[in-house]
Amino acid sequence: LYLFIIAICFFKIFSFQFCKRVIAIFERRFYFIVGDSSSFTSNCKILNMDKLPDRFDVIVLGTGLPESIIASACARSGLSVLHLDRNDYYGGKYASFNFHGLNKWATNLQASKTSAPVLDQELLKEGEEVIALENSDGICDVSVNWHLRSDNNATTESVMDEEVKKNWRLFNADILPKVLLSRGEMVDVLCNSTVSRYCQFKNVDRFLCCTNTEEVIYKDVSPTFDLVPYTRTEIFTTTKLPPLEKRRVMQFFSLFKGTSGNLDDNPLFKEYADQPFELFLEKQGISGKLKAYIMDTIGILQADTTTKTGLNAVYRFLESLGRFGNSPFLWTMYGSGELPQCFCRLCAVFGGTYCLKRSVDGLVLNNGRLSVLQYHSIERVSAVITSGQRIDCDYVIADDCYLPQDYVKESEVEKVHRIAIITNRSLFHDSEADHISLLNLKRFDPEISPWLLEVGYEGCAAPKNLVLSHITAHGTKDTLKLIALAKKLYRSGTYENDLDGRPQILWSIAYSILSPDVYCTNLPSNLRVVPRATGSLDYSFVVQQARTIFEELWPDRDFLPPALKIDEELEEEMASDLTQELESSTEAPPVETVSRSLHFTYFKILSCSFLV
C-alpha cells in the first residue's frame, strides 16, 4: 500500500511538471496546423484551422530537406514562417515510407493529376497578376514489381510473400537516401542547431569492393566482394594486402597530413591536377587491388575522376575517420526522411506554422519588368493563394515541382535514377551480425556513376532476416540501365541453381527523380528555388545551397546559430509564471483556448513517444 501511494505521488508530480512545460510551450505558439494525416501525428486528431493568418514574413512551399533547413533558419532568426505542403506527409523527395506507404506513394504517382484550380481574380489588388503553380511530383518512370521465386516451391514463395507483408511497419524506405559525412556540413549544422537531439544515427560499418567487375559485366558470372580495410588498424591486420602495398598505402595517406584540405600548395598534386586520378595513383606505385580499394571506396565521395577531385574526396574521407566511431559515414536511423522532420520541428519550436495537405494554387505578382543589370527580375511575389485564401508575404522559398513551366529549362532536365530492393540477405553475407554496407558501382557504368547502400534491421530500415538495398545513379535517360545492373548483382524471378550465390530479390521499385534547371533571371526578386535533387552520396551540396540562399536574402542574420543553453531555464521560468497566473485566476479560460491546449498536449505526447 505504501509503495502504491508513493508511486501515485511521483506520477502526480511528473504529470504536473509535464503539463506546465506543455502549456508554456503552447503559449509561445509552438504548434502545428495539419491536414488529415502527417508523419508526426499518425492517426490522431489535431486542431485543423482552415483559415490561416493573412501575413507571414516567409512562405515555404514543400517540406523537402533544403526547404526545411531554410524554414528552420528563418524561424530561428525571428522571422514568421508559414510552411505549406500539398502532400499529407513530410519530406517531399527526401521522405521515407513504410512498405504500405511506399506502395501507396507509387500508386498515387501513377494516377492522373487533377487539373489546375480556377484562381479568384477578386483576391488581387490593383497592378497585380496571378500565375498558377505546377501540380507535379517531380517523379517519373515508376515501376513496382514482385520477384518471387518460380522453382516449383509454392511454399517458399508464400512464406517470403507473407514475411514482407506481415512486417510492413518495420520497413523505412527512402525516396532519396544519403549518408552523413562525420565532418561534413550537415553534421555541423545538426550539432550547432541542436537538431541532432531529435534523431539517432549509426555508423556505416562496411565498405565493399567488387573483385571481378569485368567478368560480371561481360561473362554474366556471380559477383564476388572484398571487405575494404580503411582504418590504420585494419590495413595493418588484413591478409588481403601484402606488406609492400600496406607500406605504400600508408605513404599515400601521409601526403594529406598538415594540408588542412588545401592540396593546391603541394607541387606533386598540382602536376597531375587535371589528369585522371587513376594515373596519379599508378605514379605513386599503387595498382591492382589496392588501387581499386582507393578509387572505389575511399574516393566514393566524388564521381569525377580527375586527380584534384579524387584527392579532395580522399581527404574528406580520411578527415572524418574517428569522429564518431571508426567509420567516416553516418546513417540516419529509421531512414533519411527523419532529417526533414527534425528541421521542421526546430522551425515549429521557434514559431513556425505548418499545414500539410494544403493546395498551393498560385503566386500573386506585382507588375514589373526584367532588368538586365540584376540576377533576378525586379517584379516580386506579394502573396500566395492557397485553398482560396490570399496570404501576403515578403519572401517565398519553393521546391522546383511547384514552379510553372515558364521558369524551367525543359531541355536541361537531368534525372536521379533510383531502385529500392528488398532482398533475403546481404551481398556479403554475415550470419553473425547485421551491417550497413556501402558499395561503389561506378566501374559497372561510369556514365551514370551508381552506388549501392544496404541497410537492414540494425539500421531500422527492414525486419530481421531481410535487407533493403538502395541503388542511386544520375543521368538523362530512364531507369533501364539501373534495373539491368541490379539483375547482375541479385537473382530475380525464375532460377534453377541455388548455388548461384547471389541474394534473391523479393520486391523492387524503380523510378526517376526529375532534376530540372531553372531560369534564374526570370524569377521574381524575392522568390528562391531550393537546390535540385542530386545523386550524390552525402548532404554537402544541400546544406551549402540552403546556406547560400539564406545568406543571399538575409545577409544581416545568422544561419542556424548555436542554441543558447539558457533556453531551457527560460522555458521553466515561463512555465512557473504561467502556472501562478492560472492558479490565481478565478475565471474559466475560453473554450477555444482549452480546445487548442488539449489538442496540442495530445500532439506533444505523441511527438515525444515518436522520438523515443
Tell me how far apart the 2 most distant CA atoms of the chain are, in Å: 84
Residues of the chain with pLDDT > 70, as a percent, come to 76
All domains of the chain in start order, with CATH: 1-30+572-612 (no CATH), 32-108+115-137+344-411+519-553 (3.50.50.60), 234-282+290-315 (no CATH)
What does the pLDDT average to over 340-348? 96
What cell does 521 get? 533571371
Q: Which of 331, 42, 39, 335 is nearest to 171 (CA)?
A: 335
The crossing angle, in degrees rounded to 10, of helices 65-76 and 540-553 is 40
**Hey, is 45 helix, strand or coil?**
coil
Q: How far is CA 407 from CA 403, 411, 533, in A?
A: 7, 12, 17
Q: Which of 49, 105, 39 is nearest to 391 (CA)?
A: 49
Q: Which residue has the higher pLDDT, 461 or 406?
A: 461
Highest mean pLDDT among 305-309, 567-571, 597-601: 305-309
What cell does 501 get? 550465390
Judged by average pLDDT, the poorest of 45-59, 432-446, 455-469 is 45-59
The residue type at 76: R
Q: Which of 418, 398, 378, 365 is nearest to 518 (CA)?
A: 398
User: Looking at the predicted structure, is the pLDDT value of residue 501 above 70?
Assistant: yes
Cβ neighbour number for residue 357 with a 10 Å cutoff: 17
Q: 11-25 as b/e, with b when 16 or more CB fall inside 10 Å?
A: eeeeeeeeebbbbbb
Cβ neighbour number for residue 391 with a 10 Å cutoff: 17
* Per-residue model confidence as pLDDT tens digits over 262-319: 666 677 777 788 888 888 888 888 888 888 888 888 878 776 678 888 888 888 998 9
111 CB-contact burial (10 Å; exposed 0-12 / middle 13-18 / buried 19+): exposed
pLDDT at 151: 53
Q: 221-230 as b/e, with b when 16 or more CB fall inside 10 Å?
A: eebebbbbbb
User: Looking at the predicted structure, is the pLDDT value of residue 606 above 50?
Assistant: no
- Asked if 528 and 260 touch (Cβ cutoff 8 Å), the reply is no
State the Cα–Cα distance between residues 199 and 344, nearest whole angstrom.
12
State the Cα–Cα distance between residues 537 and 179, nearest whole angstrom.
6
State the Cα–Cα distance between residues 473 and 63, nearest whole angstrom.
23
What cell does 578 get? 504561467
pLDDT at 21: 47
Beta pairing class for 467-475 and 408-423: antiparallel
pTM higher than the cut 0.95: no
* Per-residue model confidence as pLDDT tens digits over 166-216: 889 999 999 999 999 999 999 999 999 989 999 999 999 999 999 888 899
- Asked if 390 and 52 touch (Cβ cutoff 8 Å), the reply is no
State the Cα–Cα distance between residues 212 and 86, nearest whole angstrom.
47
pLDDT at 31: 37
State the Cα–Cα distance between residues 194 and 184, nearest whole angstrom.
16
**Hey, is 406 helix, strand or coil?**
helix
- Asked if 203 and 331 touch (Cβ cutoff 8 Å), the reply is yes
Q: DSSP secondary structure string, 358-378? A: ----EEEEE-----TTSSS-S
- Asked if 482 and 473 touch (Cβ cutoff 8 Å), the reply is yes
User: Looking at the predicted structure, is the pLDDT value of residue 608 above 50?
Assistant: no
* Per-residue model confidence as pLDDT tens digits over 145-162: 887 655 555 545 556 677
pLDDT at 591: 35
Judged by average pLDDT, the poorest of 59-63, 145-149, 405-409, 578-582 is 578-582
Q: Which residue has the higher pLDDT, 450 or 117?
A: 450
- Asked if 401 and 411 touch (Cβ cutoff 8 Å), the reply is no
pLDDT at 47: 37
For residue 94, which phi and psi values (nearest 5 degrees)?
-110, 20
- Asked if 24 and 574 touch (Cβ cutoff 8 Å), the reply is yes
Mean pLDDT score of the chain? 80
Q: Where are the alpha helices (DSSP H) in 28-133?
A: 65-76, 99-110
Q: How confident is the model at residue 83 (pLDDT cuts 50, 70, 90)?
A: very high
Q: How confident is the model at residue 494 (pLDDT cuts 50, 70, 90)?
A: low
Q: In 3-state terms, the chain is what percent helix, strand and coil (to 5)?
A: 40, 20, 40
- Beta-strand (E) ranges in 372-460? 381-386, 389-398, 408-423, 437-440, 451-455
Q: How confident is the model at residue 80 (pLDDT cuts 50, 70, 90)?
A: very high
Q: How far is CA 476 from CA 197, 246, 410, 516, in A?
A: 38, 40, 12, 11
User: Looking at the predicted structure, is the pLDDT value of residue 10 above 70?
Assistant: no
**Hey, is 423 helix, strand or coil?**
strand
- Asked if 252 and 286 touch (Cβ cutoff 8 Å), the reply is yes
Q: How far is CA 78 from CA 24, 83, 339, 556, 557, in A?
A: 19, 15, 22, 12, 9
What cell does 27 get? 503559449
**Hey, is 225 helix, strand or coil?**
strand
pLDDT at 490: 92
- Asked if 172 and 337 touch (Cβ cutoff 8 Å), the reply is yes
* Per-residue model confidence as pLDDT tens digits over 89-130: 999 999 999 999 999 999 998 776 666 666 777 788 888 888
